[in-house]
Amino acid sequence: MQTADISAVVTGGASGLGAATAAALAGAGARVLALDLPDACKSAPEVQGVEYLPTDVTSEADVRAAVDQAAGDPGRPLRVVVSCAGIGPSARILGRKGTHSIDLYRKVLEVNLLGTFVVMAVAAEAIAATEPDEHGQRGVVVNTASIAAYDGQVGQAAYSSSKGGIVGLTLPAARDLAQYGIRVVTIAPGIVETPMLATVSDEFRQALAAGVPFPQRLARPDEYAQLALSIVEHDYLNGEVIRMDGALRMAPR
């Protein structure tokens, strides 16, 4: 799948993994619609080829409006969707203040899992309406899970559940969309240097990096973007979850 002269949608595109991916796709010649919450879009960096659209990924109406805009250029068909939007609050099932907030659990699943599904389903409908390339391909969906889907730590019940759902969604989604020439692949990152880690101390960050077998450092958002572009360009990758974690296996705490 080529990246030049196509349109792409990237959720969570104003910062972190999404921003790096949006910039990389634009640099490869794509027209990129970066979806994020209104405040995030206002503070997003200006990147040539990237347009920011205030969007709540849990809202089908919001997502449809954004996808319609992304699919509106007949000269650059919508071919690529990368879902990076997500939240990661921590709470134990039983804590000092009682049970895990049901509203918080629901919110994490709505943003991380339901949001991913809404974007994939709505975008797939638009992609399926495009003309295929000479190989019968119409598009690629790259979703974002986490190694927490496999190695969830204390306090990650909601986050791990949501990311485990994305892992479980990958193969059936790839099988469902195969008839339309749409591939689905998921990236499961380890510990990445994103705004989620911005509030922790350097000492804590160094301790996290020391736990990674090799390279013994945190991953960079541009490395996620590099992998996402490789997936787009590699036509035989489909229905798979790829760990990007430096061989890290998370301890319980």
Residues assigned a catalytic role: 159
Q: Which of 87, 79, 74, 92 lies closest to 29 in space, CA to CA?
A: 79
What residues contact residue 21 under an 8 Å CB cut-off, 6+ apart? Answer: 10, 13, 82, 84, 221, 224, 225, 228, 229
What residues contact residue 50 under an 8 Å CB cut-off, 6+ apart? Answer: 13, 22, 23, 26, 32, 34
What residues contact residue 115 under an 8 Å CB cut-off, 6+ apart? Answer: 11, 57, 58, 83, 85, 86
Amino acid code (one letter) for 84: C
Tokens standing for residue 224:
């996620």
CA gap 131, 120 in Å, rounded: 18
CB 231 within 8 A of CB 182: no
Q: Which phi and psi angles does 243 have, rounded to 5°?
A: -80, 135
Tokens standing for residue 42:
């206002």
- Is residue 159 classed exposed, middle or buried when 0-12, 13-18 and 19+ CB atoms within 10 A define those classes? buried
